């Protein structure tokens, strides 16, 4: 039996519901692998599961950090591994649920996580280059030397784009190469990974758009306003999340509300494409593609099948 069950894939594919169904079936607990759901006070825009959606299943790595904090993949890996070890020690099954591939890799690999060099002075210079070039151009430059990493990073993910270029400058090799070397080391956990998608790409995009608009109806603008009023700066990692940056621009008077809604829909669809590109490059991924929107019966059947296969 594998140590971890991993449910991943783009937003709006049913990861939360399937993770809960699996946890209830296998006496498990969920570990979130979402780089924005870790932040307190960021609930609506991150689609953080509600108490009703969790349905009594314990969830870990939600609300684990202050929105003003710089939260690294390595820190996530340490904290999530402590959760996984505790769940296993109690004889239960860890179910890792989320779409942040770097977090999932960091957790599964554990101590084998890449330890590429770092230079604070070089990083500050590269941050200046990012600011001068802009995220799109900077990401294109990274893609010329490390297409694998550039494919999964958003142009606004300044921290990780800068880190990837820093590693290339210091070592002459892309950060994805360093990660590949670390993958040659025995990982901390064995994992069975299931990626969710829809057979019809149009259905996925429709669900993404519907979810994004529902977030605005649920009070996303007020959520972002509260964060800004609490002192969470627009340059923090948390405020670069899809939904938050666009709403912050609206609140600053730089666009109309409907423009912000459309921008969130577009950014969410582009992010889904990057997630799928990354997942398709992974040979260890088992795909589950919905033919239609999954209902409770479909989720239960999928959970039972995964539970049998992964045991």
Outline which parts of the chain fall under CATH 3.40.50.300. 4-114+183-310
pLDDT (average), residues 35-58? 97
Task: Quickly state the pLDDT bin for 116 (edges 50, 70, 90).
Answer: low
CATH 1.10.20.140-classified regions of the chain: 120-182
Min mean pLDDT across 104-108, 126-130, 186-190 is at 186-190
- List the alpha helices (DSSP H) in the chain: 15-26, 51-54, 73-89, 101-109, 120-133, 135-145, 147-152, 158-171, 175-183, 201-217, 220-229, 244-251, 257-280, 296-310
Q: For residue 71, is pLDDT > 70?
A: yes
| pLDDT interval class at 119 (50, 70, 90) | confident
pLDDT for position 72: 86
Considering only the top CATH level, what class is 120-182? mainly alpha
CATH 3.40.50.300 fits 4-114+183-310, yes or no: yes
Nearest-10 crossing angle of helices 175-183, 158-171: 80
What is the spatial distance between Cα 195 and Cα 135, in angstroms, rounded to a whole number?
28
**216 vs 213: CA distance, rounded Å:** 5
CA–CA separation, 51 and 209 (whole Å): 24
- The whole-model pTM stands at 0.81
């Amino acid at each position: 039996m594998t140590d971890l069950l991993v449910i991943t894939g783009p937003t709006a594919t049913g990861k939360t519901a399937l993770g809960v169904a699996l946890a209830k079936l296998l006496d498990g607990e969920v570990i979130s692998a979402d780089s924005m759901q870790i932040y307190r006070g960021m609930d609506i825009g991150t689609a953080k599961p509600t108490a009703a959606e969790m349905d009594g299943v314990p969830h870990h790595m939600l609300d684990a950090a202050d929105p003003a904090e710089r939260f690294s993949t390595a820190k996530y890996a340490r904290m999530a591994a402590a959760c996984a070890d505790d769940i296993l020690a109690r004889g239960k099954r860890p179910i890792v649920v989320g779409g942040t591939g770097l977090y999932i890799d960091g957790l599964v690999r554990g101590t084998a996580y890449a330890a590429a060099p770092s230079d604070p002075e070089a990083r500050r210079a590269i941050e200046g280059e990012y600011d001068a070039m802009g995220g799109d151009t900077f990401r294109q430059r990274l893609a010329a030397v490390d297409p694998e990493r550039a494919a999964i990073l958003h142009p606004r993910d300044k921290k990780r784009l800068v880190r990837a270029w820093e590693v290339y400058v210091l070592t002459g090799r892309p950060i994805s190469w360093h990660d590949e070397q670390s993958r040659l080391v025995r990982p901390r956990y064995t994992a069975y990974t299931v990626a969710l998608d829809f057979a019809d790409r149009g259905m996925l995009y429709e669900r993404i758009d519907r979810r994004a608009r529902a977030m605005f109806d649920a009070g996303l603008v007020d959520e972002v306003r509260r964060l800004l009023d609490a002192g969470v700066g627009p340059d923090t990692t948390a405020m670069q999340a899809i939904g938050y940056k666009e709403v912050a621009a609206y609140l600053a008077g730089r666009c109309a509300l409907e423009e912000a809604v459309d921008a969130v829909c577009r950014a969410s669809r582009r992010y889904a494409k990057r997630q799928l590109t990354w997942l398709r490059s992974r040979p260890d991924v088992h795909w589950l593609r919905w033919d239609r929107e999954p209902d409770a019966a479909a989720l239960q059947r999928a959970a039972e099948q995964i539970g049998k296969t992964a045991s």
